A and B are shown apart, each in its own frame.
Chain A
Amino acid sequence: DAGVIQSPRHEVTEMGQEVTLRCKPISGHDYLFWYRQTMMRGLELLIYFNNNVPIDDSGMPEDRFSAKMPNASFSTLKIQPSEPRDSAVYFCASSSGQGLEQFFGPGTRLTVL
């Protein structure tokens, strides 16, 4: 039973470049969440979707960040242009409509030089 899948696992890029992070939720889950984790701020919710529709994006730090969910099995988080302060681990999580629990992927470690 596959869990949440994220790619790439590691990304190193230079300031100003576009970065795209990818997520495949658990099959049958209709909620998808994007989080960012840093030492200073811990785990923060960026945005979440229900049935592919963005519900709350109030955690998205600024217009450089965007997220899409074109279908039930795929979502992207894009940063354009990237900045060094975006360096963090980005997690995707999913949950079903019946349960409140969220199940996390392995994360993408982003380093912006």
Chain B
Amino acid sequence: EDQVTQSPEALRLQEGESSSLNCSYTVSGLRGLFWYRQDPGKGPEFLFTLYSAGEEKEKERLKATLTKKESFLHITAPKPEDSATYLCAVQTSGSARQLTFGSGTQLTVLP
């Protein structure tokens, strides 16, 4: 059974304090790993797709990386507007189009 585990559950940072969120996965045949951002009362917003180990993608203060067992979402010099829940999801070769989501990391950036 595909498993996705995110850590920590919650993270509080001071503005400008860089950190990383972790997403570890146990799947058979990864097709893609996805990062989403979810603000309270809204739907998940797509951020990145990673397809293979060693791949990296960046968007503003966010950088996502992928290994064979886990993915990291690095947040550099975060701002209060980066506060949100960050969700990780995987799609496997045996699951057609289904995504399996982790439980998320709730990030709070204090001014």
Taking CB atoms and an 8 Å cut-off, the chain A residues in 42-58 that contact chain B are 42-43, 45, 48, 50, 55-56
Contacts of A45 in B (CB 8 A): 98-99
A107 touches B43 (CB 8 A): yes
B103 touches A100 (CB 8 A): no
Query: Is the C-beta of B87 less than 8 angstroms from some C-beta in chain A?
Result: yes
Contact with A along B23-35 (1 / 0, CB 8 A): 0000000011010
Contacts of A105 in B (CB 8 A): 43
Contacts of B34 in A (CB 8 A): 100-102
**Bound complex: CA A101 to CA B101 (Å):** 13
Query: Is the C-beta of A95 less than 8 angstroms from some C-beta in chain B?
Result: yes
**Bound complex: CA A95 to CA B85 (Å):** 22
Contacts of B36 in A (CB 8 A): 104
Contacts of B44 in A (CB 8 A): 43, 91, 104
Counting chain A CB atoms within 10 Å of each CB, the highest count among B36, B99, B103 belongs to B99
Contacts of B97 in A (CB 8 A): 31, 33, 48, 50, 55, 95, 100
B49 touches A100 (CB 8 A): yes
**Bound complex: CA A93 to CA B89 (Å):** 14
Contact with B along A54-98 (1 / 0, CB 8 A): 011000000000000000000000000000000000010101000
Query: Is the C-beta of B69 less than 8 angstroms from some C-beta in chain A?
Result: no
Knowing A95-B97, A106-B42, the reply to whether A100 touches B104 (Cβ < 8 A) is: no
**Bound complex: CA A68 to CA B70 (Å):** 36
Contacts of B31 in A (CB 8 A): 100
Contacts of B101 in A (CB 8 A): 42-43
29 pairs of residues in contact across A and B, judged by CB atoms under 8 Å: A4-B43, A42-B101, A42-B102, A42-B103, A42-B104, A43-B87, A43-B89, A43-B101, A45-B98, A45-B99, A48-B97, A50-B97, A55-B96, A55-B97, A56-B98, A91-B44, A93-B43, A99-B49, A100-B31, A100-B91, A101-B46, A101-B49, A102-B46, A103-B46, A104-B36, A104-B44, A104-B46, A105-B43, A106-B42
Q: A56-B98, A100-B34 are in contact. List 5 more A-B contacts (CB 8 A).
A: A31-B97, A43-B44, A56-B96, A100-B32, A102-B99
